[in-house]
Amino acid sequence: MAETSFDLIVVGGGPGGYVAAIRAAQLGMKTAVVEREHLGGICLNWGCIPTKALLRSAEVGHLLRHADAYGFSAKEVSFDLKKVVKRSRDVAGQLSRGVGHLLKKNKVTVFDGHGRLAGGGKLKVEKDGKPVADLTAKNIILATGARARSLPGLEPDGKLVWTYKEAMVPEAMPKSLLVVGSGAIGIEFASFYRDLGAEVTVVEVLDRVLPVEDEEISAFARKAFEKQGMKIMTSATVKALKKGADSVTATIEAGGKVSEVAVDRVILAVGIVGNVENLGLEGTKVKVEKTHVVIDSWGFTGEAGVYAIGDLVGPPWLAHKAMHEGVICVEKIAGVKGVHPMDTTKIPGCTYCRPQVASVGFTEKAAKAAGREVKVGRFPFIGNGKAIALGEPEGLVKTVFDAKTGELLGAHMIGAEVTELIQGYGIARTLESTEAELMHTVFPHPTLSEMMHEAVLAAYGRALHI
Amino acid sequence: MPIEILMPALSPTMTEGNLAKWLKNEGEAVKPGDVIAEIETDKATMEVEAVDEGKLGKILVPAGSQGVKVNQPIALLLEEGEDASALAKAATAAPKPPAPTPTPTPTAAPAPVAQQPSAAPAAAPAATAAATGERVFASPLARRMAQQAGLDLARLNGSGPHGRVVKADIDAALARGAPAAAKPTWAAVSAVAPPAFGLPAFTEQPHSMMRKVIARRLVESKREAPHFYLTLDCNIDRLLQLRQEINAKREKDKISVNDFVIKASALALKQVPAANASWTESAVRLYQAADVSVAVATPGGLITPIIRGADSKSLSTISAEMKDLAGRAREGKLKPEEYQGGTFSVSNLGMFGIREFAAVINPPQGAILAVGAGEQRPIVKDNALAIATMMSCTLSVDHRVVDGAIGAEFLAAFKKLIEDPLSMLI
């Protein structure tokens, strides 16, 4: 007879859930995770990780096609899509097993099934409609995540109209592709398929691609994508999708003009909705707004002993945000001293398209809108020795400082490897560095990171290499 | 090894002071002669100059700290090539061994201003050093915001990791209107609610250093020195006439009656040296110079800048010096040697129309002359009533040092000079 009484049960084994469970176990709580599909959640199985594997393949392809620039000749470069996809699935599978080991190592009990609140600290676990276990816990954290949003008339069918899930495991290469939505998910797939040779059209309802990024970065990205041959339509909406046997004709309205685009496949990336259904929230004090559970700054839902974290509670829909929320929530429950609520202005965002995009904190526009007087620094990749040596002269690093206090309000980067660089600025923000500390920091030469130094210097008119 | 900047002894008797203000921030470059801080001593605000070149590495005693012991390290100066890591070493370095504080010797030249902290005699480190010099953990942004807002970081509770003061704490402090880094000024007036049993409403002004010193010294004077008082009236008609003649020839910098009084006092001290004396436990100290302390009212309280060797100075020199000293006294900018060590005091309340009054002796001096207003009074001259401008002067004397006869002799000499002012000019 398996144990059924716990200090903490986490519903959902994604990055928010499993990290919360491990932290709880570290703090001495008897902990369980209820997961209905696969440990590691979307991130690990159908999101962050497998897409990075795909994008790596695309990058290798890109390099092979440009081998001549580095003195190599690579003729008749071709790829086997099945192998590309298999590699991605293998990577996901390896890491999912890794999460299982981590939970085991931390003595977290895992229940395979769907968890549903049954009132008074009870949780029913079912699998395929059959009861698996009746559990009780002092505290329950809901971490059921989110799924792709579908718009009326734009419902995915899994064959011609894909969500991220189908886009990740294509059986054949589409010759042409329409990507609806230019957020991180849409743009990463657009970049992947474009690098593998598909004709890609991106439709964005707002006036720029990657709309959460700094305007300058959006503009830079758009230029780079268009140079690669992507077709970008902003302030545009897809009115209808007419499906053929092996193709789709999309009716797109932009600036009052209606046009039709015929493509092999469509990828929908128009946001996500929280998985709030069938959780037993009815009759509890848990409030749901716009498909997301409402919480206080510690993850508390208002229902005694019930908390929620991650994509389920709203944007930014990022695995690292979910993980951090999980830790904060568990530490708050455990009464750990010095726990701080999440500061969303310190959460970096990364998009792994080519060129990569990464940012943390306020955009220039948001900083000004918040009433800050700002100093802005910019440094282009073309001024950096390592970027030139890598053959990656395309990119920009931008910093936004509070003109009065020198607080680093935000940093925005586009170009090779910037997703690996952004944490430097993240640390600076967390430590509340001013421009002075960043200027005093010695950045190694030759690295791309030197541009981060220069962008700080540039904000104060002191850039050295431009 | 960073150089310790010690709380300077700005006068031989100074044992502690308030660190009023830092004029350099941590990290700022400092050159010899740069004013790095202002220190409020018992009577004035003094500037502390840097002796060495370097960078102000760490402020150990925050601005607004009261009662900082002399020779307590107040900051660390990084020499060229040293970085912040050197600060950690300094923090653990052993304090300097104690050395005796020199006793004041008023016969010697005025005590030099100890602006060379490293050369100042080291006293035993104060017990409070650790408490006031403790490192405040704060984020760089919090430090800068606190500095900009004039907040004292040491007074904030840090909510960051390990109690680190972070931006949110500064924001919170500003939101609740935390006071700026408290300056030890008596301008800080706090209203106090009257207690239930019917005291009238009042406010309390925290004591300034100056007020404390005035209180301590005057109590000491009245308790220790047996005062007696001698009064006589001086006819100043001739003095006023002479003054008018002199001033008629001067565009500006007019000579005042008080300038004559200072000069006459000094000359009288020279004529009656026994009155120019102080009591010490072992001996009566007879001064060779006639250094006249002149009471000046300032917004912060009474202070007595000194006209040194006033007997040998011309009236115009005395007048010019007095203007300068009084002006700086009111700004709190006197140096200790400018108000410490006089041998005799003059206090003049004539400008307020006070006819006569008795002053409290300014210890360790032996006497003080209280000067009233010059006013027209009926006098008997050549067996007839006449009108003359008279000025009453009262000498308060420490009977331990000066007996009645000596005091009277001094006062007579003073009167003679005042009434025959030309004799002062010879």
Contacts of B141 in chain A (CB under 8 A): 405-407, 432-434
CA distance B212 to chain A (A): 39
- For residue B102, the model assigns a pLDDT of 42
Answer whether residue B418 shows pLDDT above 80.
yes
Closest residue, chain B, to A402 (C-alpha): B141
CA distance B213 to chain A (A): 41
Contacts of B166 in chain A (CB under 8 A): 432
- Sequence-ordered alpha helix ranges (H) in A196-269: 215-227
| Pick from B139, B159, B162: CB nearest A432 | B139
Closest residue, chain A, to B145 (C-alpha): A405
Average pLDDT over residues B378-396: 93
A152: which residues sit within 8 A by CB, 6+ positions away?
none
Q: What would the pLDDT profile of B299-326 be if each residue is shown by its tens digit?
A: 878 889 999 999 999 999 999 999 999 9
Q: What would the pLDDT profile of B57-87 be if each residue is shown by its tens digit?
A: 888 888 888 888 887 888 888 877 777 666 7
CB contact under 8 A, B167 and A432: yes
Contacts of A406 in chain B (CB under 8 A): 141, 144
Average pLDDT over residues A372-380: 97
CA distance B18 to chain A (A): 29
Neighbours of B91 (CB within 10 A): 15
Contacts of A432 in chain B (CB under 8 A): 139-142, 166-167
Whole-Å CA distances, A270 to A46, A52, A317, A344, A359: 16, 20, 13, 22, 21
Q: What would the pLDDT profile of A307-343 be if each residue is shown by its tens digit?
A: 999 999 999 999 999 999 999 999 999 999 889 899 9
CA distance A436 to chain B (A): 9
Confidence of residue B89 (pLDDT cuts 50, 70, 90): low
Mean of the per-residue pLDDT values for chain B? Answer: 81
Question: Are the C-beta atoms of residues B208 and B67 closer than 8 Å to each other?
Answer: no
Tell me which of B93 and B9 has the higher pLDDT: B9
CB contact under 8 A, A432 and B148: no
- The dihedral formed by the CA atoms of A315, A320, A326 and A328, expressed in degrees to the nearest 10: -90
Closest CA to A170 of A84, A241, A93, A90: A84
Average pLDDT over residues A62-78: 94
A117: which residues sit within 8 A by CB, 6+ positions away?
A123, A140, A279, A280, A281, A284, A306
Contacts of B144 in chain A (CB under 8 A): 405-406, 434
Mutate to test the interface with A, among B85, B141, B166, B169 (most CBs of A within 10 A): B141
Question: Are the C-beta atoms of residues A4 and A65 closer than 8 Å to each other?
Answer: no
- For residue B116, the model assigns a pLDDT of 38
Average pLDDT over residues A403-408: 95
Question: Are the C-beta atoms of residues A464 and A454 closer than 8 Å to each other?
Answer: yes
| Pick from B144, B159, B161: CB nearest A405 | B144
Contacts of B27 in chain A (CB under 8 A): 436
Confidence of residue A57 (pLDDT cuts 50, 70, 90): very high
- For residue B105, the model assigns a pLDDT of 40
- For residue B84, the model assigns a pLDDT of 66
| Pick from B140, B166, B167: CB nearest A437 | B140
CB contact under 8 A, B144 and A434: yes
**Can B399 be counted among the known catalytic residues?**
yes
- For residue B43, the model assigns a pLDDT of 65
CB contact under 8 A, A407 and B148: no
CB contact under 8 A, B167 and A407: yes
Rounded percentage of chain A residues whose pLDDT exceeds 90: 95
Contacts of B162 in chain A (CB under 8 A): 338
User: Tell me, what's the ipTM?
Assistant: 0.78
Q: Which has the minimum average pLDDT: A63-67, B51-55, B106-110, B255-259?
A: B106-110
Contacts of A427 in chain B (CB under 8 A): none
CB contact under 8 A, B141 and A404: no
- Sequence-ordered alpha helix ranges (H) in B106-208: 129-133, 140-149, 167-175
Answer whether residue B135 shows pLDDT above 90.
no
Q: What would the pLDDT profile of A438-465 be if each residue is shown by its tens digit?
A: 999 999 999 999 999 999 999 999 999 9
The burial class, CB within 10 Å (0-12 / 13-18 / 19+), for A248 is buried
CB contact under 8 A, A434 and B27: no
The C-alpha atoms of residue A286 and residue A303 are separated, in whole angstroms, by: 6
Rounded percentage of chain B residues whose pLDDT exceeds 70: 81
| Pick from B144, B161, B162: CB nearest A406 | B144
| Pick from B141, B159, B166: CB nearest A434 | B141
Closest residue, chain B, to A340 (C-alpha): B160
CA distance A402 to chain B (A): 11
Confidence of residue B198 (pLDDT cuts 50, 70, 90): low
| Pick from B141, B145, B159: CB nearest A433 | B141
CB contact under 8 A, B140 and A436: yes
A109: which residues sit within 8 A by CB, 6+ positions away?
A2, A3, A6, A31, A32, A33
CA Rg value for chain B: 26
Answer whether residue B46 shows pLDDT above 80.
no
Q: Which has the minimum average pLDDT: A95-99, B186-190, B262-266, B320-324?
A: B186-190
Answer whether residue B406 shows pLDDT above 80.
yes
Return the half-sphere exposure (C-beta side, CA atoms, 13 A cut-off) of residue A103: 28
Q: Which has the minimum average pLDDT: A20-29, B2-11, B151-160?
A: B2-11
Q: What would the pLDDT profile of A139-178 be if each residue is shown by its tens digit?
A: 999 999 999 998 888 899 999 999 999 999 999 999 999 9
Q: Which has the minimum average pLDDT: A154-168, A290-304, B91-105?
A: B91-105
Answer whether residue B21 shows pLDDT above 90.
no
Q: Which has the minimum average pLDDT: A332-341, A361-370, A397-406, B175-184?
A: B175-184
CB contact under 8 A, B161 and A338: yes
- For residue B100, the model assigns a pLDDT of 41
The C-alpha atoms of residue A298 and residue A321 are separated, in whole angstroms, by: 13
- A-B contacts (CB, under 8 Å): 29
How far out from the chain centre does Cα A128 lie?
30
Q: Which residues of A are catalytic?
A: 445
Return the half-sphere exposure (C-beta side, CA atoms, 13 A cut-off) of residue B108: 7
Contacts of A433 in chain B (CB under 8 A): 139-141
Contacts of A431 in chain B (CB under 8 A): 139-140
The position carrying tokens 């209203």 is B191
- For residue B88, the model assigns a pLDDT of 61
CA distance A286 to chain B (A): 30
CA distance B56 to chain A (A): 16
| Pick from A406, A432, A434: CB nearest B166 | A432
- For residue B103, the model assigns a pLDDT of 41
Average pLDDT over residues A1-9: 85
Closest residue, chain A, to B146 (C-alpha): A405
CB contact under 8 A, B140 and A405: no
Closest residue, chain B, to A437 (C-alpha): B140
Mean of the per-residue pLDDT values for chain A? Answer: 95
| Pick from A338, A340, A432: CB nearest B141 | A432
Confidence of residue B107 (pLDDT cuts 50, 70, 90): very low
Closest residue, chain B, to A343 (C-alpha): B168
- For residue B178, the model assigns a pLDDT of 56
Closest residue, chain B, to A434 (C-alpha): B141
The C-alpha atoms of residue B172 and residue B149 are separated, in whole angstroms, by: 12
Answer whether residue B93 shows pLDDT above 80.
no
Average pLDDT over residues B268-297: 93
Residue A154 DSSP class = B
The C-alpha atoms of residue A28 and residue A167 are separated, in whole angstroms, by: 41
Contacts of B140 in chain A (CB under 8 A): 431-434, 436-437
B27: which residues sit within 8 A by CB, 6+ positions away?
A436, B55, B56, B57
Average pLDDT over residues A127-140: 95
Catalytic residue among B162, B207, B227, B399: B399
Q: What would the pLDDT profile of B227-276 be if each residue is shown by its tens digit?
A: 999 999 999 999 999 999 999 988 888 899 999 999 999 999 999 999 99
Confidence of residue B122 (pLDDT cuts 50, 70, 90): very low
Interface of B with A in 133-162 (CB under 8 A): 139-142, 144-145, 148, 159, 161-162
Answer whether residue B108 shows pLDDT above 60.
no
Return the half-sphere exposure (C-beta side, CA atoms, 13 A cut-off) of residue B276: 25
Average pLDDT over residues A201-217: 97
